[in-house]
Amino acid sequence: MREREPLTIGDFFVLALVFGLAVFGVAMIYSAGELEVPSLVTGIWRKQAIWLAISLVVFALTLRIAMRWLEWVAPIAYAVAILLLIVVLVVGSGDGPRSWIRVGGVGFQPSEFAKLATILLLAKLIAGRERPPETLWDLWPYLAVVMVPFVLIIAEPDLGTASVFIAILVGALYWSGLPFSKLALLLSPLVSLALAFSTPLWGVWFLLLVGFLYWTRAYLTESLAVIFANLAMGVLVRPAWRSLPAYQKVRILAFIQPEADPQGAGWHLIQSQVAIGSGGWVGKGFAQGTQKRLAFLPEQHTDFIAAVVGEEFGFIGISIVLLCFAVVLWRVLLAAERSDDSFASIVVFGIFALWFAHLVANVGMTVGLFPITGLPLPFLSYGGSFLLMSFVMLAIIQRVASDTKTGT
């Protein structure tokens, strides 16, 4: 009889930091519910604690899964993820985007599973190549893998979550060895999208792009494709803007000028900045944040959990939290770098890109550096689906780090 494979931990330091962040997250969700007038957020920390216990069990089970099996199952997992994303468009529920599938009192976000499934399939396809991609035309299979879930999630509509798939694609291609010039050309339409509202800025960018294409000696077909994509972004951005749901327009406009509507669109950002600023150096103390207790701070248990940390633990507290995240990401990067298995290495770096995107977007939106996207802060924000899948990803990282140590 085959002996059961033992649990393998590759980096106890990362495991301890992540577990500490998750427990701290439960505490902060408890604090977020301590309001002068109780609401639905009050007591919600108990659900997060249950999800944390479930996540730890799933983490232990995932540790037993070999990377070769994950590579084999990647296409199946991706197909299941796409099917679930289609189902959620038909029977999904949610406040705003239809992003949840609910069975009884339990809800699950298929997009969270789709993130990992997409990382696995991208890694399998890239690792299966005899040499790294060299031209933009070599990238079409990877673009297709990412664009299918991207479009389905946009249709929910959930622009914030969809944007994470772009980060996953960029991370996987960068780690695969794609030349930086090709990566820049691939991302150039996004720059056109951002600048298209200003014709002079977009015109300057387009001239710079043409010069860059000439300087890099790109293939003619590549150059034409890049130029067409940038022109399309410049032309279609205004119709696309008009088609956006009202709440997404409000978020973007509030990011640009929150003071223009302080009681409406700009409320979230202004209250977040006030909460963080009022925390000072050491904060007001656990569960004592006044902006939070008086319910001035919206979505304090999910989108703006970092603002709660800043108000109650101050600059020093939020700095310690960010330092913990920085160390975790650094150790994850080391695990990707040290692995001799190209599939495993790309998977780990894809997870790095995913967590980094969530961290930057979430913290950035609380201080006004980025639009409000609704992306949760890993291990701290309320959300069972994201917490569960994050611990599955943590188990994969630990498995890769352990295999690297043992040389398997």
Cβ-Cβ contacts under 8 Å for 242 (sequence gap 6 or more): none
pLDDT beyond 50 at 224: yes
Number of C-beta neighbours around residue 257 at 10 A: 10
Average pLDDT for residues 247-271, to the nearest whole number? 62
Residue 349 predicted with pLDDT over 90: yes
User: What span, in angstroms and rounded, lies between the C-alpha atoms of 231 and 243?
Assistant: 19
CA distance 327 to 355: 13
pLDDT confidence of residue 59: 96
Q: What is the Cα–Cα distance from 20 to 18, expressed in whole angstroms?
A: 5
pLDDT in tens, 27-42: 999 998 888 777 778 8
Which among 208, 250, 247 has a CA at the least distance from the CA of 227? 208
| pLDDT at 260 exceeding the cut of 80 | no
- Cα–Cα distance, 30 to 223 (Å, whole number): 54
Strand partners, 100: 93
Lowest mean pLDDT among 37-51, 89-103, 133-147: 89-103
Instruction: List CB contacts of 29: < 8 A, sequence separation 6 or more.
Output: 44, 45, 48, 301, 305, 382
Highest mean pLDDT among 40-44, 69-73, 229-233: 69-73
pTM of the model: 0.90
The answer on pLDDT for 356 being more than 80 is yes
Q: Considering Cα of 376, then 382, then 385, then 389, what sign does the dihedral take?
A: positive
The pLDDT, as a whole number, for residue 289 is: 81
- The answer, yes or no, to whether residue 85 has pLDDT greater than 70, is yes
**Per-domain residue ranges of the chain:** 12-406
Q: How far apart are CA 294 and CA 154, in angstroms?
A: 34
What share of residues in the chain are helix, strand, coil (percent, to 5)?
A: 70, 0, 25
Please report how many Cα atoms fall inside a 13 Å half-sphere around the Cα of residue 60, on the Cβ side.
6
Examine the pLDDT at 189 and tell me if it is beyond 70: yes
Angle at 291 between CA 45 and CA 107, to 5 degrees: 30
102 pLDDT band, cuts 50/70/90, is: confident
1 has pLDDT over 50:
no
- Single out the residue of 110, 10, 100 nearest to residue 59, CA to CA: 10
Nearest-angstrom CA–CA distance, 246 and 242:
9
User: 264, 296 in Cβ contact below 8 A?
Assistant: no
* pLDDT recorded at residue 36: 73
User: Given CA atoms 249, 251, 255, 261 in this order, what sign does their dihedral have?
Assistant: positive
Q: With contact defined as beta carbons under 8 Å apart, do 108 and 155 qualify?
A: no
pLDDT digits (tens, 9 = 90+) for 52-63: 999 999 999 999
- What integer is the mean pLDDT of 317-341? 95
What is each CA distance from 228 to 7, 77, 191, in whole angstroms? 52, 34, 14
Lowest mean pLDDT among 74-78, 176-180, 295-299: 295-299
Contacts of the segment 104-111: beta carbons below 8 A, 24+ positions apart: 107/384, 107/385, 108/384, 108/385, 109/383, 109/385, 109/386, 110/81, 110/84, 110/85, 111/85, 111/149, 111/153, 111/156, 111/158, 111/161
Give the residues across from 144 on adjacent strands.
none
Could you read off the pLDDT of 133-162 as tens digits, one per residue?
777 888 999 999 999 999 999 888 788 899
In this predicted structure, the answer to whether residue 3 has a pLDDT above a threshold of 50 is: no
